[in-house]
């Protein structure tokens, strides 16, 4: 009876999952594969401020790319706010959120989808812009003239002139003209602004550009600065802070000139947060050719409607059931012994951030040091709860010391060691030391290695992009995983390790 019940339940769940999946995959045509790393990015800006009990108006720059990149979609989440999008200074686009009365913390989102332009427009010419002559005080003007003069002697065209001036400002020798203008070790933004001034002095049209780099997916993108010089009817980019071509070709220009990124009236504590993600799912074709109907459905029927920050979280979340399913298989069908039921899955989650090799190394280092300390503590005869508390503190200290050490030697990967689950590590150390004392070091090491192997295996499965993609686009597949786990719950066959254990009885 209960067995039939179980099969019926598992069958129903699996059927639901597969039906929903089939509908979305074949009728709605949602993509089944992550596809090639398409040249589509989502850039999401989160703006927060505290309203002062009255009307509030927030003006923010919108990405206005030219050249290799273009905006193919733009949307805003701003409940209760009026929204206008208007051109600002230069070629900038600005959005203005306004509200008659607002109190307390406010959050607004804007999202743009950026894609690479298929063919670059090299024919059309832009009109010759005006040159802005800077207002410099007399000593600065002398220094500026000197820099411009010496750069002009070696420059072939406006572009090289800009590069030479920027280089001079960057490597400002102590006591020279350049240092007088920009100060010692100037920021890239300062160099860009000053170069634009000096080019104005030389009569060359130029403008500063602020943007972000799309190269890396990141949750908190920072602005980068460069400048554009007008030459032969086109604006050409001159990069001051970064010169590697593979990096600069992913620079997204956001706005030109010296305006601020965002300005608030009627509020305080304005802060922004920019998230960049490469959108694997929205390949250019589906977005453009189907008049973006697919994208609308994607947003309606999946986790894509969520803010990007939350999406990042869910990418990790949807693979956890998969890891746990694998853990059930490894424990109940294969017969692995691990410290703590779900410890390996948590370790595997940490591996997603640290990478597998270093993750395993960090795990081994922390557990080894922790064990050594634990054996020393054994002599103090502490009671259980204080002893565990001491264990947690020791693990935190070990992680602190390791992080500082890694930082000092410039090993940036090592900084992610802080993502390991501290309490789980402590429990692992505690249990391992008990097993060590009760059943000997061999058994303890076997179980530790077993836990690590299970952790690595779950990590490898949870990290398959195809699976992550499927579960993220079709979360209903989790119902199938659930059904499979329910069935495994009644698996009463031998474990693989038992075949070895009882081998002598098979004759």
Partner 1 sequence: MMELLRVARGLRANGVIGINERNAEYTLAYNPRDRYPLVDDKLLTKQFADKAGVAVPPLYGVVEIQHQVLELAAMLSPHQDFVVKPCRGSQGDGIVVVTGRSRNQYEIADGTFMSEEEMAFHVSNILSGIFSLGGQPDKALIEYRVDFDLVFKDVTYRGVPDVRIIVFLGVPVMAMVRLPTRMSRGKANLHQGAVGAGVDMATGITTSAVWKGQLVDTHPDTGNPVAGVAIPNWARLLEIAARSYELTGLGYQGIDIVLDSVRGPLVLELNARPGLAIQLANRRGLGKQLDAVRADHKQLTGIQARVDYARARFGADA
Span interacting with partner 1, options 161-169, 216-224, 346-354, 485-493, rule CB under 8 A: 485-493
Contacts of 181 (CB under 8 A, 6+ apart): 140, 143, 144, 147, 169, 172, 194
Nearer to partner 1, 171 or 506 (CB): 506
* Distance in Å, CB of 443 to partner 1, minimum: 9
438 is a contact residue toward partner 1 (CB under 8 A) = yes
| Sole binder of partner 1 in the list 383, 408, 412, 442 (CB under 8 A) | 383
* Distance in Å, CB of 457 to partner 1, minimum: 19
Q: How many residues bind partner 1 (CB under 8 A)?
A: 25
5 is a contact residue toward partner 1 (CB under 8 A) = no
Span interacting with partner 1, options 44-52, 194-202, 341-349, 494-502, rule CB under 8 A: 494-502
Span interacting with partner 1, options 132-140, 273-281, 417-425, 499-507, rule CB under 8 A: 499-507
Nearer to partner 1, 123 or 442 (CB): 442
In Å, how far are 36, 93, 275 from 272, measured between CA atoms?
A: 31, 17, 10
Distance of CA 27 to the CA centre of its chain: 32
Backbone angles phi, psi at 88, to 5 degrees: -105, -150
How is 66-118 classified by DSSP, letter by letter? -TTEEEEEEEEE-TT-EEEEEE-STT-EEEEEEEEEEEEEEEEEEEEEEEE-S
* Distance in Å, CB of 498 to partner 1, minimum: 5
| Sole binder of partner 1 in the list 5, 244, 408, 503 (CB under 8 A) | 503
Nearer to partner 1, 114 or 454 (CB): 454
| Sole binder of partner 1 in the list 4, 156, 384, 409 (CB under 8 A) | 384
* Distance in Å, CB of 337 to partner 1, minimum: 11
Contacts of 441 (CB under 8 A, 6+ apart): none
Nearer to partner 1, 135 or 506 (CB): 506
| Sole binder of partner 1 in the list 170, 272, 315, 495 (CB under 8 A) | 495
| Contact pattern for partner 1 over residues 398 through 437, marking x by CB under 8 A | ------------------------------------x---
504 is a contact residue toward partner 1 (CB under 8 A) = yes
Radius of gyration of the chain (CA): 30
1 is a contact residue toward partner 1 (CB under 8 A) = no
499 is a contact residue toward partner 1 (CB under 8 A) = yes
* Distance in Å, CB of 482 to partner 1, minimum: 19
The region, left, alpha or beta by phi > 0 then psi within -120 to 50, assigned to residue 86 is beta
The region, left, alpha or beta by phi > 0 then psi within -120 to 50, assigned to residue 35 is left
Q: Report d(CA 425, CA 273) in Å as an integer.
A: 32
H or E element in which residue 503 lies: none
| Sole binder of partner 1 in the list 86, 101, 142, 496 (CB under 8 A) | 496
Q: Report d(CA 240, CA 226) in Å as an integer.
A: 6
Smallest CA-to-CA distance from 177 within 213, 142, 151 is with 142
* Distance in Å, CB of 65 to partner 1, minimum: 57
| Sole binder of partner 1 in the list 26, 376, 411, 494 (CB under 8 A) | 494
Tell the burial category of 111 from Cβ atoms under 10 Å away from its Cβ (0-12, 13-18, 19+).
Answer: middle
Span interacting with partner 1, options 141-149, 242-250, 257-265, 487-495, rule CB under 8 A: 487-495
Nearer to partner 1, 123 or 383 (CB): 383
* Distance in Å, CB of 321 to partner 1, minimum: 21
Q: Report d(CA 342, CA 311) in Å as an integer.
A: 24
Nearer to partner 1, 196 or 448 (CB): 448
* Distance in Å, CB of 384 to partner 1, minimum: 4
376 is a contact residue toward partner 1 (CB under 8 A) = no
| Contact pattern for partner 1 over residues 328 through 347, marking x by CB under 8 A | ----x--x------------
Distance of CA 302 to the CA centre of its chain: 20
- Of 101-130, binders to partner 1 (CB under 8 A) are none
Q: Report d(CA 169, CA 140) in Å as an integer.
A: 13
Structure tokens at 186: 């100037």
173 is a contact residue toward partner 1 (CB under 8 A) = no
* Distance in Å, CB of 335 to partner 1, minimum: 8
Q: Report d(CA 417, CA 390) in Å as an integer.
A: 20
Distance of CA 420 to the CA centre of its chain: 18
Asked if 102 contacts 51 with a C-beta cutoff of 8 angstroms, the reply is yes
4 is a contact residue toward partner 1 (CB under 8 A) = no
Span interacting with partner 1, options 21-29, 269-277, 450-458, 493-501, rule CB under 8 A: 493-501
Q: Report d(CA 8, CA 284) in Å as an integer.
A: 42
498 is a contact residue toward partner 1 (CB under 8 A) = yes
Distance of CA 351 to the CA centre of its chain: 16
Residues in the chain: 507
Give the Cα-Cα-Cα angle 350, 352, 356 (nearest 5 degrees). 90
Nearer to partner 1, 118 or 383 (CB): 383
Cα dihedral sign, 367-369-372-376: negative
| Residue 304: DSSP 8-state | G
User: Interface residues with partner 1 (CB under 8 A)?
Assistant: 332, 335, 381, 383-385, 434, 438-439, 490-496, 498-499, 501-507
């Amino acid at each position: 009876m209960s067995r039939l019940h179980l099969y019926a339940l598992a069958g129903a769940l699996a059927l639901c999952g597969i039906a929903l999946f089939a509908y979305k995959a074949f009728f709605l045509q949602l993509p089944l594969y992550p596809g090639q790393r398409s040249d589509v990015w989502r850039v999401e800006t989160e703006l927060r401020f505290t309203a002062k009990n009255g009307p509030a108006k927030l003006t923010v720059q919108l990405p206005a790319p030219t050249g290799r990149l273009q905006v193919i979609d733009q949307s805003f989440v701003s409940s209760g706010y009026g929204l206008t999008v208007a051109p600002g200074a230069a070629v900038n686009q600005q959005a203005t959120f306004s509200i008659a009365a607002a109190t307390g913390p406010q959050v607004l989102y804007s999202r743009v989808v950026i894609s690479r332009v298929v063919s670059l427009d090299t024919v059309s010419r832009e009109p010759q812009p005006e040159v802005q002559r800077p207002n410099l005080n007399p000593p600065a003007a002398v220094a500026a003239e000197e820099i411009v003069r010496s750069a002009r002697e070696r420059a072939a065209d406006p572009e090289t002139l800009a590069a030479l001036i920027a280089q001079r400002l960057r490597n400002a020798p102590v006591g020279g003209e350049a240092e007088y203008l920009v100060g010692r070790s100037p920021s890239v933004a300062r160099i860009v602004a000053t170069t634009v001034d000096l080019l104005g002095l030389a009569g060359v049209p130029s403008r500063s550009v602020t943007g972000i780099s799309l190269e890396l997916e990141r949750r908190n993108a920072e602005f980068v600065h460069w400048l554009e010089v007008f030459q032969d009817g086109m604006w050409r980019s001159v990069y001051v802070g970064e010169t590697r071509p593979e990096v600069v070709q992913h620079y997204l220009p956001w706005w030109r000139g010296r305006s601020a990124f965002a300005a608030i009236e009627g509020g305080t504590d304005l802060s922004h947060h920019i998230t960049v993600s490469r959108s694997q799912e929205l390949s250019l074709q589906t977005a453009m050719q189907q008049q973006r109907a697919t994208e609308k459905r994607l947003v309606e029927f999946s986790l894509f409607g969520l803010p990007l920050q939350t999406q990042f979280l869910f990418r990790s979340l949807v693979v956890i059931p998969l890891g746990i399913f694998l853990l059930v298989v490894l424990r109940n069908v294969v017969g692995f012994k691990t410290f703590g039921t779900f410890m390996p899955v948590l370790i595997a989650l940490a591996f997603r951030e640290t990478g597998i090799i270093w993750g395993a190394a960090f795990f081994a280092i922390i557990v080894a040091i922790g064990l050594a300390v634990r054996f020393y503590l054994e002599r103090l005869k502490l009671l259980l709860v204080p002893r565990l508390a001491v264990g947690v503190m020791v693990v935190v200290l070990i992680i602190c010391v390791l992080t500082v050490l890694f930082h000092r030697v410039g090993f940036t990967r090592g900084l992610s060691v802080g993502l390991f689950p501290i309490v789980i590590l402590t429990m692992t150390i505690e249990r391992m030391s008990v097993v060590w004392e009760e059943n000997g070091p061999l058994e303890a090491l076997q179980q530790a290695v077993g836990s690590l192997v299970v952790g690595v295996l779950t990590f490898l499965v949870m990290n398959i992009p195809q699976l992550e993609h499927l579960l993220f686009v079709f979360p209903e597949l989790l119902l199938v995983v659930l059904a499979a786990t329910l069935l495994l719950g009644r698996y009463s066959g031998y474990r693989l390790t038992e075949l070895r254990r009882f081998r002598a009885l098979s004759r």
